[in-house]
Structure 1
Amino acid sequence: MQAEKLVLVLCAAIACVFSSEFLDQEWKAWKAKHEKEYSNFRDEIFRRKAWEATWQKVQKHNQLADQGLSRYRMAVNKFADMTPEERTSRKCFHSNKKSQNYVPMQDYSRILNIPESVDWRDSKCVNPVKNQGFCGSCWAFAAVGVFESHHCIKTKKLVEFSEQQLVDCDKGNDGCCGGMPDKAMAYITSHGIMQEKEYEYSGKQFQCLFKPDNALGFNVTKYYILPGEDNMALSLAFDGPMAVGIDASDDFQLYCNGIFEGGCTTDPNHAVIIVGYGTEHDEESNEDIDYWIVRNSWGEDWGDKGYVKMRRNTNTCGIATEASSVDLTR
């Protein structure tokens, strides 16, 4: 019996050594891929521990996905060396729930014959995915992205507008400390907006350098909040992309591909853009799963080339809580 126990102990020790060597290699490869450097040894030890916890979390989740028990997969991405608390504390969306809605509600509920699927990327009216960096400016990226697409839909010209102008100059929002896309839409309606090439994004808040003579103005008939996912789908199909708030939870931040549907609350803390919707048939459950196509502002190295599919008609992560859009005339 003692010999058998000794063999088991030795096997366990050998397995630990191989596991440690494997994780060492994975850690070094991950640091190189994401160009990670740490200020001192203690900081790297802390980040390595957080990364290992994330690595274990991702492996366990993807095993469930492999078994057909989850509709999406996770990745050991650029956020992997953050703790869950750090990831969930990254907030850049201010809710409108406690403030008076100063924009009219658009109701599409009487419109029928909604298309089965929509993807505004096919129209060449959605710019490449951008990266807000460490600035809490998701609200600015969401508002600007909506104006870029709607302007393109009307004029057939896709232009990149300046998020930095909103970060520096929109006093109705809080720069890198967060804001609301609909308030940013109000600012753009009143002041116009410069092009990105004339007011480049820095990822930090500075003094306002807005030049009215260089700004493009818009004929805005209205900007509005949309109630409910049916209205959101109809607005998206007939008018164009929209800004929404979601809870960018710990699980969401590690998303890789598939249809994300869980591990979050319905209290938004992050602003993104819906650019389409569709339906996929799930062979495991033999049911059709509706989803949104969502453009994030965390760069193309996050998620599915910067995008995420989120389950539709279930208010996943509060996506139906505060959706806003704009109507432009030529």
Structure 2
Amino acid sequence: MHLEKFLLILVSILACNTLTLKSLDDEWTLWKSDHERRYSSPKEEDVRRKIWEANWQKVTEHNKLADQGKKSYWMKMNHFADKTANELKLKSCLRNSTSQERNFKSYQGKKYQTGPPNVDWRDEKCVTAVKDQGLCGSCWAFATVGTIESRFCIKYGPLVELSEQQLVDCDYYNGGCCGGYPSSALEYIIDHGLMKSSKYKYKGYNSECRFKYRQALQVNASKFYDFRGEDNIASALAHDGPLSITFAVDVDFFFYDKGIFDGDCAPYSNHAMLAVGYGAMDYEEYWIVKNSWGHYWGENGYVKIKRNVNLCNIGDWASAADLV
């Protein structure tokens, strides 16, 4: 009798494992199709499948906790799901400047009133569509161009998509796909102007500079600056418009889906993004941030990040320019 019960339990376990494997097979096939994955050999696919399964387990366990209210954000199996943690960390695209290069200016010099409780510049139609930097470490260019696109729209009216590739190819002070930082990119833009993205399309790799001055939108600015502090960033964001921020991205951030991110951070800032607003949900304050990893990442390319705790160094370094 005991043997029959044991065999019945064993059969049940084997059946469950078989169903789980079949389900994973189906999900793997669907994921490859959705993200257009083609591997060079069966051996490479087997390696990527194992990485994908480990990430699937991680995401599944995290989301169970989120469903129970024990986590404030959810994760998803996006286009990073077949990458190892070390591969994801190689996407760092922020070149840290020296103390001599970084000239921080306090935002206290501007006499701002307290901003409104909620700000979202997307409502004013002054934020361009989410873009994808691809394999190029050009986040610094996307964050900087996004700042100019939005502030030009706020100041003058039209929303114009400008060229990140121009910065990648022509801003020699920065490192193209090997990283850069927004404040020096702002200086380049003010000195040279920016061509429209339709005239200088994004390639996602370093190439020869094809800048044409006569086709460039000239950007007149009274000053450009770096500043610190989440209160200062919020004040500048509310009164002047979107600005670039830096963030210490760790592995979990790559799999963000929705909710307010408050996960693990890298030891230092390694990514630049565009802050477009802020708000609160259930008394939890957050930033609204536009990323450059495509619309399929996060909340249609955006992320809510916990605010006023300097999460992942988000308040350490912001860059902007005053257009005139």
TM-score bucket of the superposed structures, by smaller chain: over 0.9
Q: Is the 8 A contact 1:278 1:290 kept in 2?
A: yes
Letter in 2 for 1:5: F
Give the alignment of 1:134-149 within 5 angstroms.
134-149=135-150
Letter in 2 for 1:230: D
1:252-287 deviation per Cα after TM superposition (whole angstroms, max 9, x unaligned): 010000000111135111110000000111xxxxxx
2 CA distance for matches of 1:159 and 1:194?
A: 10
Residue 284 of structure 1 corresponds to none
Residue 89 of structure 2 corresponds to 88
Q: Is the 8 A contact 1:105 1:226 kept in 2?
A: yes
After superposition, the CA RMSD in angstroms is: 1.4
Letter in 2 for 1:154: K
1:103-157 deviation per Cα after TM superposition (whole angstroms, max 9, x unaligned): 6443368633221010000111100101111111110001000000000101011
Q: Is the 8 A contact 1:241 1:274 kept in 2?
A: yes
Residue 230 of structure 1 corresponds to 231
Residue 322 of structure 2 corresponds to 327
Residues 266, 290 of structure 1: CA spacing in aligned structure 2 closer, same or farther, 3 A cutoff? farther
2 CA distance for matches of 1:73 and 1:50?
A: 20
Residue 46 of structure 2 corresponds to 45
Letter in 2 for 1:84: A
Letter in 2 for 1:156: G
Q: Is the 8 A contact 2:93 2:270 kept in 1?
A: yes
2 CA distance for matches of 1:234 and 1:97?
A: 26
Any unmatched runs of 5+ in structure 2?
Answer: none
- Offset at residue 96 of structure 1 (A): 3.0
**SS in structure 2 of the partner of residue 107 of structure 1:** helix
1:274-326 deviation per Cα after TM superposition (whole angstroms, max 9, x unaligned): 00000111xxxxxx111000000011011000000000001112111111111
Q: Is the 8 A contact 1:243 1:323 kept in 2?
A: yes
Q: TM-score, normalised by structure 1?
A: 0.95
Residue 194 of structure 2 corresponds to 193
Residues 108, 82 of structure 1: CA spacing in aligned structure 2 closer, same or farther, 3 A cutoff? farther
Residues 107, 94 of structure 1: CA spacing in aligned structure 2 closer, same or farther, 3 A cutoff? farther
Residue 296 of structure 2 corresponds to 301
Give the alignment of 1:312-323 within 5 angstroms.
312-323=307-318
Residues 109, 63 of structure 1: CA spacing in aligned structure 2 closer, same or farther, 3 A cutoff? farther
Residue 289 of structure 1 corresponds to 284
1:79-108 deviation per Cα after TM superposition (whole angstroms, max 9, x unaligned): 001112211221001123644323644336
Q: Is the 8 A contact 1:223 1:324 kept in 2?
A: yes
Q: Is the 8 A contact 2:244 2:275 kept in 1?
A: yes
2 CA distance for matches of 1:10 and 1:29?
A: 28
Matched, 1:213 2:208: no
Residues 327, 200 of structure 1: CA spacing in aligned structure 2 closer, same or farther, 3 A cutoff? same
Letter in 2 for 1:316: L
Residue 68 of structure 2 corresponds to 67
Q: Is the 8 A contact 1:62 1:74 kept in 2?
A: yes
Q: Is the 8 A contact 2:103 2:226 kept in 1?
A: no
Sequence identity percentage: 46
Q: Is the 8 A contact 1:48 1:81 kept in 2?
A: yes
Residues 4, 66 of structure 1: CA spacing in aligned structure 2 closer, same or farther, 3 A cutoff? same
Letter in 2 for 1:14: A
Q: Is the 8 A contact 1:247 1:269 kept in 2?
A: yes
Any unmatched runs of 5+ in structure 1?
Answer: 282-287
Q: TM-score, normalised by structure 2?
A: 0.96
Which shows bigger deviation, 6-15 or 126-135? 6-15
Residues 230, 103 of structure 1: CA spacing in aligned structure 2 closer, same or farther, 3 A cutoff? closer
2 CA distance for matches of 1:239 and 1:99?
A: 27
**SS in structure 2 of the partner of residue 271 of structure 1:** strand
Residues 302, 291 of structure 1: CA spacing in aligned structure 2 closer, same or farther, 3 A cutoff? same
Q: Is the 8 A contact 2:56 2:77 kept in 1?
A: yes
Q: Is the 8 A contact 2:114 2:235 kept in 1?
A: no
Matched, 1:32 2:27: no
- Offset at residue 215 of structure 1 (A): 1.1
Q: Is the 8 A contact 1:106 1:224 kept in 2?
A: no
Matched, 1:173 2:168: no
- Offset at residue 13 of structure 1 (A): 1.5
2 CA distance for matches of 1:150 and 1:183?
A: 17
